[in-house]
Amino acid sequence: MERNTLTQKTSLQLGEFDIIAAYFKDLTDQSGVALGIGDDAAIIDLPLQSKIQLVVASDTLVDGVHFPSDASAYQIAQRALCVNLSDMAAMAATPRWFTLALTLPKEKANRQWLKDFSMGLAEVALEYNCALIGGDTTAGPLSITITMLGEVPVGAGLARSGATTGDGVYVTGFLGDGAAGLLAITKIDSFKNKPKIVSERLLDLFYKPLPQIIAALKIRHLASACIDISDGLVADLGHICRSSGVAASVDTAMLPIHPDLQENFQDQCHDWALFGGDDYQLCFTVPAADLSIVDDWIYQGELDATRIGVILSFSDNNPAVLIDGFKSLERLRGFDHFIP
């Protein structure tokens, strides 16, 4: 599309095609790609007798909504790719390829910004072994849309809908760091009497969440349902419940909360772990018969996860997610872009 692109330029400005050629075309190794950046679309080789399924997800990050306007290009790129990788983890897919639709204000279309952005992107792409294969570049308010393609063996993908009564509920990593990270961005004063390392860890995690691909592949053949926690544990476990037609009970004493949060934010950290967003950990369920296998992996240090609850049958008394036996309906909704 030609209108409103960055193409009309003065000699000092970078045009759309300069940007693509300099910062995106050779960003990553194009493995499995028959035709990469430079044509009207990319072509991907799939095995002839395909025993894999493609898994596709998109996420958009908007300036001032998903990251603060003073975030660096490097940080924005890393967060954009990581949140998309987290969707692959939720499906237990191996990430392979992605496209990047970049809308960029003209004042940011300079070499330094683009160099930092493409470096942030390249580092995460290398770490998670996925390749940039195409995209679009336009001028306008800063927004980044990544479409990620991954693969799973046929039938091995995890959905939200497979949980049944008696399943154990697990989460990976720590909860509440995302909400605490947001506080570090919006109200750094709340950290003024705390060790600097506390806010540093949270800010690092906010800009580079840790997509749980390895954990997802480990639990793939055992888990009955899975979701990544972007809107808060209770909201996202609620999605599993609604998709599966079940309820769930969470034991707050079991919530994995980082010692930094327990020590410095005693009063808030449980609320953050339950209702805060942006953690990008996984919440998954495991049938009763396999709980001992997963618990053993955790015990042996092969899986960084915690059993926090159990799936219940759905009823008037158990309408969704119960927290220590209490209904959580009033706060179940999580974050919604369109409802204040």
Tell me how far, at minimum, the Cβ of 40 lies from Mg ion, in Å: 8
Q: Which amino acid is at 77?
A: A
Least Cα distance to 133 among 45, 25, 16 occurs for 25
Q: Which amino acid is at 90?
A: A
Q: Does 132 bind ligand ADP (CB under 6 A)?
A: yes
Nearer to ligand ADP, 132 or 234 (CB): 132
What is the number of the residue whose Cβ is closest to Mg ion? 136
Q: Does 120 bind ligand ADP (CB under 6 A)?
A: no
Where do we find the tokens 């994995």? 256
Q: Which range touches ligand ADP (CB under 6 A), out of 127-135, 180-188, 266-274, 314-322?
A: 127-135
User: In this chain, which of 6, 14, 20, 109 binds ligand ADP, going by CB under 6 A?
Assistant: 20
Give the CA count within 13 Å in the CB-facing half-sphere of 86.
23
Least Cα distance to 88 among 236, 294, 227 occurs for 227
Nearer to ligand ADP, 135 or 334 (CB): 135
Q: Which amino acid is at 100?
A: L
Site size for ligand ADP (CB under 6 A): 13
Q: Does 136 bind ligand ADP (CB under 6 A)?
A: yes
Binding at 37: pick from ligand ADP, Mg ion, none (beta carbon under 5-8 Å per type): ligand ADP
Please list every residue from 137 through 166 that binds ligand ADP, using CB under 6 A.
Answer: 137
Q: Provide the token pair at 303.
A: 């899986």
CA 56 to chain centre: 14
Q: Does 246 bind ligand ADP (CB under 6 A)?
A: no
Nearer to ligand ADP, 26 or 295 (CB): 26
Tell me how far, at minimum, the Cβ of 42 lies from ligand ADP, in Å: 6
Q: What is the 3-state secondary structure (H, E, C) of 178-199?
A: HHHHHHHHHCHHHHCCCCHHHH
Q: What is the 3-state secondary structure (H, E, C) of 86-106?
A: HHHHHCCCEEEEEEEEEEECH
Q: Residue 125: in which H helix or E strand, if any?
A: helix 111-127
What is the binding site for Mg ion (CB under 5 A)? Answer: 136
Nearer to Mg ion, 21 or 291 (CB): 21
CB count within 10 Å of CB 260 equals 19
Nearer to ligand ADP, 143 or 244 (CB): 143
Q: Does 135 bind ligand ADP (CB under 6 A)?
A: yes
Binding at 284: pick from ligand ADP, Mg ion, none (beta carbon under 5-8 Å per type): none
Handedness of CA 172, 231, 122, 205 (dihedral sign): negative
Binding at 24: pick from Mg ion, ligand ADP, none (beta carbon under 5-8 Å per type): ligand ADP
Q: Does 280 bind ligand ADP (CB under 6 A)?
A: no
Helix (H, G, I), strand (E, B) or coil at 123: helix
Rounded Cα–Cα distance for residues 265 and 245 (Å): 35
Q: Provide the token pair at 294.
A: 């997963």
Q: Give me the residues that bind ligand ADP (CB under 6 A), please.
A: 20, 24, 37-40, 100, 102, 132, 134-137
